[in-house]
């Protein structure tokens, strides 16, 4: 018999290798999970033989996509609790909670996720008045779509004594009703002001007494109630995580950069890998906790099969939708507020040094122009010691135009989520005013500075669908839109670079892991750019998703 034996041949495909020359071939040979050769149909079929040969029917193949910023755990939690995505009013939010209660008669706690007041008429933050009536005896915590705010009931506020602790609160807000609007129950105001937004220090706070909380907690204020909310069981989470994985695989996603996990979750993911259930390549960022730091001191860079840990996640500020993003000048639609600094600069510096010492990467959530400037200054110090640090800024959403060049000067890796530009389009300018929009969602400019741009979705804040990312990035403003090639690289090889994995994955080249996706429709076609999904997905040469098996 002719030819070298391999495990798998896929032919009659349009293989977009995304190598340096952007070569396109017809066939690929795979052995032991690695790519042996990619080449013309005849060449591969003559040179190799395999028990498994797949005719791809002329469909397009790409390196498996990576979501460079997602939250599998948060999405799992969303699947377990009440789903508040897309609610169009406060009444509908309450109604969904009532429905959930009816379906779960023995409810001991109500947790939900996904509301977004910018979708409502008037765009007012909600209040907990109805929730207090419906749920007088159990804790209720409903997270905003971005996870940077929560609506909680009075039961939980009382139980946690959150109001007693607010004078010690750093980097968070509790919203109160304006006394005058008390009976209307619709207006809220932020009282914990002012903050010094450009020095990287927390500002001083003014606490107004005799005000009624609305139940809305922003950023670090949520930490006050967290310990008093019973969580779902580990078994529930593991089951939900696999549901999330199924959704990822059906879009041809073979890798996720999980943006922030606690120490206990390391064991959860390991358990799923031991049970051969977790197939996706997981690049997990650690939250900066004492336990996680101890883990790093003990283990250094950590790898357990498809789980890789060598980075920390840090939060510089909050989010724009809940006015927690830290801005150099006040909010256009809230002139008393600059937003919130969630981690002071001293602490960020300390973490950066810790990362440098242990060969870890630091990935900092940074949305407002002031937060971005502060983080860039922290990273500048690291650049002097280690130019190829690949420290990332997650989101990099609003930049003072004069700060863009620092991405180039200090080799800071930008990681962005183009669907945010679409979701925020209706209100971003209200928050920022016209002038600051020039430096917002500036994907092309960021790419031009660093030379690479990692793309993600921030799911479940946005949908997992990578084709929504493609369409958002292609249709961004004339100046800031990305080309199809730039987008595809952003979801493959640039994402691999952003995780120090470019030698193993991210392109379809000899010697790399056979992580690949064959799509149902051409990615560059009209249909393919919007509603597309995988026909087959492979991780290390193993088929992990088959459309016709659904």
Q: Of the two residues 219 and 513, which places its CB atom closer to Zn ion in the complex?
A: 219
Q: Of the two residues 368 and 541, which places its CB atom closer to Zn ion in the complex?
A: 368
CB of 55 to Zn ion, least distance (A): 40
Q: Of the two residues 94 and 240, which places its CB atom closer to Zn ion in the complex?
A: 240
Structure tokens, 292: 């996680």
Q: Which residue, chain included where needed, has tokens 């349009």?
A: 14
Stretches 254-262, 380-388, 428-436, 541-549: which one binds Zn ion (CB under 5 A)?
254-262
Element housing 213 (H / E): strand 213-219
Confirm or reject binding of residue 73 to Zn ion (CB under 5 A).
no
CB of 147 to Zn ion, least distance (A): 7
Q: Of the two residues 218 and 259, which places its CB atom closer to Zn ion in the complex?
A: 259
Give the alpha-carbon dihedral of 135, 141, 144, 148, to 10 degrees.
Answer: 150
Size of the site for Zn ion (CB under 5 A): 2
Q: Of the two residues 366 and 370, which places its CB atom closer to Zn ion in the complex?
A: 366
CB of 220 to Zn ion, least distance (A): 16
CB of 85 to Zn ion, least distance (A): 16
CB of 70 to Zn ion, least distance (A): 8
Q: Of the two residues 420 and 444, which places its CB atom closer to Zn ion in the complex?
A: 420
CB of 321 to Zn ion, least distance (A): 13
Stretches 36-44, 125-133, 377-385, 453-461: which one binds Zn ion (CB under 5 A)?
453-461
Confirm or reject binding of residue 317 to Zn ion (CB under 5 A).
no
Confirm or reject binding of residue 37 to Zn ion (CB under 5 A).
no
| DSSP letter, residue 283 | E
Binding mask 289-308 for Zn ion (x = CB under 5 A): --------------------
| DSSP letter, residue 125 | P
Confirm or reject binding of residue 116 to Zn ion (CB under 5 A).
no
Confirm or reject binding of residue 486 to Zn ion (CB under 5 A).
no
Q: Of the two residues 50 and 465, which places its CB atom closer to Zn ion in the complex?
A: 465
Q: Quick count: other Cβ atoms within 10 Å of Cβ 457? A: 26
CB of 259 to Zn ion, least distance (A): 4
Stretches 179-187, 310-318, 451-459, 522-530: which one binds Zn ion (CB under 5 A)?
451-459
Q: CB of 285 within 8 A of CB of 259? A: yes
Q: Of the two residues 127 and 417, which places its CB atom closer to Zn ion in the complex?
A: 417
Q: Of the two residues 90 and 458, which places its CB atom closer to Zn ion in the complex?
A: 458
Confirm or reject binding of residue 342 to Zn ion (CB under 5 A).
no
In sequence order, which residues have a C-beta less than 8 Å from that of residue 486 and are 6 or more positions away? 447, 453, 473
CB of 392 to Zn ion, least distance (A): 12
Stretches 303-311, 457-465, 529-537, 538-546: which one binds Zn ion (CB under 5 A)?
457-465
CB of 83 to Zn ion, least distance (A): 18
CB of 71 to Zn ion, least distance (A): 6
CB of 143 to Zn ion, least distance (A): 12
d(CA 206, CA 204): 7
Q: Of the two residues 93 and 259, which places its CB atom closer to Zn ion in the complex?
A: 259
Q: CB of 415 within 8 A of CB of 447? A: no
Confirm or reject binding of residue 412 to Zn ion (CB under 5 A).
no
Q: Of the two residues 176 and 459, which places its CB atom closer to Zn ion in the complex?
A: 459
Beta bridge partners of 82: 112
Give the alpha-carbon dihedral of 290, 295, 300, 302, to 10 degrees.
Answer: -130
Phi, psi torsion values for 143, nearest 5 degrees: -85, 140
d(CA 140, CA 129): 12
| DSSP letter, residue 457 | -
CB of 11 to Zn ion, least distance (A): 39
Phi, psi torsion values for 291, nearest 5 degrees: -65, -45
- 33: exposed, middle or buried (Cβ count in 10 Å: 0-12, 13-18, 19+): middle
In 3-state terms the chain splits into helix, strand, coil percentages (rounded to 5) of 35, 25, 40
Kindly write down the DSSP assignment for every residue of 178-194, as one continuous string.
Answer: -GGGTTTT--EEE-S--
CA distances from 167 to 164, 193, 202 (A): 7, 12, 13
Confirm or reject binding of residue 458 to Zn ion (CB under 5 A).
yes
Stretches 38-46, 238-246, 252-260, 369-377: which one binds Zn ion (CB under 5 A)?
252-260
Distance of alpha carbon 175 from the chain centroid:
26
In sequence order, which residues have a C-beta less than 8 Å from that of residue 525 and are 6 or more positions away? none
In sequence order, which residues have a C-beta less than 8 Å from that of residue 331 and are 6 or more positions away? 323, 337, 338, 339, 431, 432
CB of 444 to Zn ion, least distance (A): 22
d(CA 365, CA 319): 9
Q: Of the two residues 369 and 458, which places its CB atom closer to Zn ion in the complex?
A: 458
Q: Please state whether 54 falls in left (phi above 0), alpha (psi between -120 and 50) or beta.
A: beta
| Single residue of 30, 140, 248, 259 touching Zn ion by CB under 5 A | 259
CB of 443 to Zn ion, least distance (A): 17
Q: Of the two residues 141 and 285, which places its CB atom closer to Zn ion in the complex?
A: 285
d(CA 102, CA 139): 16
Beta bridge partners of 307: 282, 304
d(CA 11, CA 4): 16
Report the side by side order of strands in the sheet with 140-144: 82-83, 110-115, 140-144, 149-152, 213-219, 172-177, 188-190
Q: Of the two residues 54 and 464, which places its CB atom closer to Zn ion in the complex?
A: 464
Stretches 46-54, 87-95, 186-194, 450-458: which one binds Zn ion (CB under 5 A)?
450-458
The residues of the shown chain that bind Zn ion, judged by CB under 5 A, are 259, 458
């Amino acid at each position: 018999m002719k030819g070298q034996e391999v495990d798998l041949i896929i032919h009659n495909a349009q293989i977009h290798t995304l190598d340096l020359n952007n070569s396109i071939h017809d066939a690929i040979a795979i052995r032991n999970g690695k790519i042996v050769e990619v080449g013309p149909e005849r060449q591969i079929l003559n040179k190799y033989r395999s028990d498994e040969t797949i005719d791809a029917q002329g469909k397009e193949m790409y390196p498996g996509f990576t979501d460079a910023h997602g939250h599998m755990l948060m999405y799992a939690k969303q699947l377990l609790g009440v789903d508040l995505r897309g609610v169009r009013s406060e009444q509908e939010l309450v109604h969904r909670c009532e429905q959930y209660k009816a379906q779960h008669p023995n409810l001991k706690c109500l947790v939900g996720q996904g509301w977004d007041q910018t979708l409502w008429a008037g765009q007012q933050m909600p209040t907990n008045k109805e929730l207090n009536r419906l749920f007088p005896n159990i804790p209720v915590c409903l997270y905003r779509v971005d996870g940077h705010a929560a609506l909680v009931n009075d039961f939980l506020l009382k139980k946690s004594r959150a109001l007693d602790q607010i004078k010690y609160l750093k980097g968070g807000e509790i919203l109160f009703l304006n006394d005058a609007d008390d009976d209307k129950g619709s207006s809220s105001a932020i009282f914990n002001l002012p903050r010094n937004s450009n020095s990287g220090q927390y500002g001083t706070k003014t606490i107004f007494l005799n005000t009624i909380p609305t139940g809305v907690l922003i950023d670090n204020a949520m930490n006050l109630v967290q310990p008093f909310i019973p969580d779902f069981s580990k078994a529930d989470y593991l089951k939900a995580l696999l549901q999330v994985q199924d959704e990822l695989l059906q879009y041809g996603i073979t890798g996720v950069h999980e943006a922030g996990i606690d120490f206990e979750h390391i064991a959860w993911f390991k358990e799923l890998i031991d049970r051969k259930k977790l197939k996706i390549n997981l690049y997990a960022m650690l939250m900066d906790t004492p336990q996680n730091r101890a883990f790093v001191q003990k283990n250094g860079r950590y790898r357990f099969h498809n789980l890789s840990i060598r980075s920390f996640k840090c939060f510089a500020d909050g989010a724009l939708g809940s006015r927690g993003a830290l801005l150099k000048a006040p909010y256009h639609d809230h002139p008393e507020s600059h937003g919130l600094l969630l981690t002071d600069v001293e602490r960020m510096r300390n973490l950066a040094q810790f990362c440098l010492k242990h060969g870890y990467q630091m990935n900092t959530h940074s949305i407002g122009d002031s937060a971005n400037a502060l983080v860039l200054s922290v990273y500048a110090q690291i650049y002097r010691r280690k130019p190829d640090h690949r420290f990332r800024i997650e989101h990099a959403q609003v930049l003072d135009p004069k700060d863009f060049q620092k991405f180039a000067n200090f080799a800071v890796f930008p990681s962005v989520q183009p669907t945010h530009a679409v979701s925020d389009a209706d209100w971003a300018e209200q928050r920022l005013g016209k002038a600051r929009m020039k430096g917002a969602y500036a994907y092309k400019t960021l790419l031009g500075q660093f030379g690479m741009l990692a793309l993600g979705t921030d799911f479940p804040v946005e949908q997992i669908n990578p084709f929504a990312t493609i369409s958002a990035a292609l249709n961004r403003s004339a100046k800031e839109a990305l080309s199809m090639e730039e987008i595809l690289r952003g979801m493959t090889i640039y994402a691999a670079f952003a995780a120090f994995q470019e030698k193993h994955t991210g392109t379809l080249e000899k010697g790399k892991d056979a992580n690949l996706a064959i799509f149902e429709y051409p990615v560059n076609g009209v249909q393919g750019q919007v509603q597309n999904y995988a026909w087959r997905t492979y991780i290390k040469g193993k088929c992990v998703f088959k459309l016709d098996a659904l």
